[in-house]
């Protein structure tokens, strides 16, 4: 039987069974890795909730023994300053006398100095501390760090087993991709506004944008064989949009610019934030 916090998750049955058995006596560190959009971050958060016994109706960040380490807005990596602050914080005792949980989002964004600073803490963690590293690119972490973590790989669910809601989501993205390629600018912008509102409404809006752009990127690759020129234009927009995640600018702006017909673009100066050299 799965832990109640895992009961509504579709797929990853083997992983969820393993984690259910470890909620009472977790390892000191885990490495959740796999492609973007497979649910590893969601499973990590549910695992944290299960260990801390934090109800889903309460924000996870409100728990005093939960620490989220992610890059600061406007930066491209997790700095040594952030890592040192984390190490100082975990040196304190648990606020509620139980476990302390550290979730490191996009762990591949740890710079070399930060990863090395964490190594000693991962090697000799306090008994109450549990690390969860989440990444799409585990190979970017030092081998010495990876070897000290329980590695759990998340795989994509085969399309034949994909639940109806996920199939519907992919159909929606396919429709959006077709709109960006074939529809007039006004229609494309309206569709992108709807996408933007949906992503920004999520509690983890940056992750929602990544998953949406990842789906569009896959569809764009399929389009390349039949319409390479438009696929390249959309692909550039998706790349620029990805770079804007976490900045003060919405990824929607880059996608809207990619939707502007080339006949119009040649008469318009390129906005600086959409210039490749700027990104």
Q: What is the pLDDT of residues 183-232, one digit of tens each?
A: 788 888 888 998 888 888 887 788 888 888 888 887 777 766 667 777 78
User: Mean pLDDT of all residues in the chain?
Assistant: 83
Distance (Å, whole) CA 270 – CA 194: 24
With bands split at pLDDT 50, 70 and 90, how would you rate the model's confidence at 168? low
- Quick one: pLDDT at residue 219? 77
Name the burial class of residue 143, with classes exposed (0-12), middle (13-18) and buried (19+) by CB atoms within 10 angstroms of its CB.
Answer: exposed
Q: What is the pLDDT of residues 259-270, one digit of tens each?
A: 877 766 666 665
Share of the chain above pLDDT 70, in %: 86
Higher local confidence (pLDDT), 27 or 232: 27
* First vs last C-alpha separation in the chain: 48
With vertex at residue 158, the alpha carbon angle to CA 155 and CA 160, rounded to the nearest 5 degrees, is 160
Backbone angles phi, psi at 260, to 5 degrees: -70, 125
- For residue 11 the two structure tokens come to 């797929």
Distance (Å, whole) CA 125 – CA 144: 15
Backbone angles phi, psi at 91, to 5 degrees: -75, -15
With bands split at pLDDT 50, 70 and 90, how would you rate the model's confidence at 49? very high
Model pTM score:
0.60
């000290």: which residue's tokens? 148
Distance (Å, whole) CA 184 – CA 188: 6
> Which among 109, 134, 108, 107 is positioned nearest to 42, based on CA atoms?
134
């Amino acid at each position: 039987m799965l832990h109640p916090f895992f009961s509504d998750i579709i797929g990853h049955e083997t992983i969820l069974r393993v984690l259910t058995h470890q909620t009472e006596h977790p390892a000191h560190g885990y490495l959740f890795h796999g492609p973007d959009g497979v649910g590893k971050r969601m499973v990590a958060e549910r695992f944290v909730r299960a260990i801390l016994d934090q109800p889903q109706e309460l924000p996870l960040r409100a728990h005093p023994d939960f620490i989220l380490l992610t890059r600061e807005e406007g930066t491209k990596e997790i700095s040594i300053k952030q890592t040192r602050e984390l190490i100082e914080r975990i040196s304190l005792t648990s606020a509620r006398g139980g476990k302390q949980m550290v979730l490191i989002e996009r762990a591949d964004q740890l710079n070399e100095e930060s990863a090395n600073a964490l190594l000693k803490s991962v090697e000799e963690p306090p008994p109450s501390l549990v690390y969860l590293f989440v990444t799409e690119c585990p190979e970017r972490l030092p081998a010495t760090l990876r070897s000290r973590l329980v590695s759990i790989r998340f795989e994509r669910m085969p399309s034949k087993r994909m639940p109806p809601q996920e199939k519907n989501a992919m159909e929606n993205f396919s429709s959006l991709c077709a709109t960006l390629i074939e529809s007039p600018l006004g229609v494309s912008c309206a569709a992108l506004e709807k996408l933007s509102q949906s992503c920004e409404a999520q509690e983890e809006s940056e992750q929602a944008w990544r998953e949406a752009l990842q789906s569009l990127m896959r569809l764009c690759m399929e389009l390349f064989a039949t319409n390479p020129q438009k696929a390249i234009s959309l692909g550039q927009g998706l790349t620029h949009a990805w770079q804007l995640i976490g900045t003060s600018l919405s990824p929607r702006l880059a996608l809207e610019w990619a939707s502007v017909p080339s006949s119009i673009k040649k008469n318009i100066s390129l906005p600086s934030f959409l210039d490749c050299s700027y990104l």
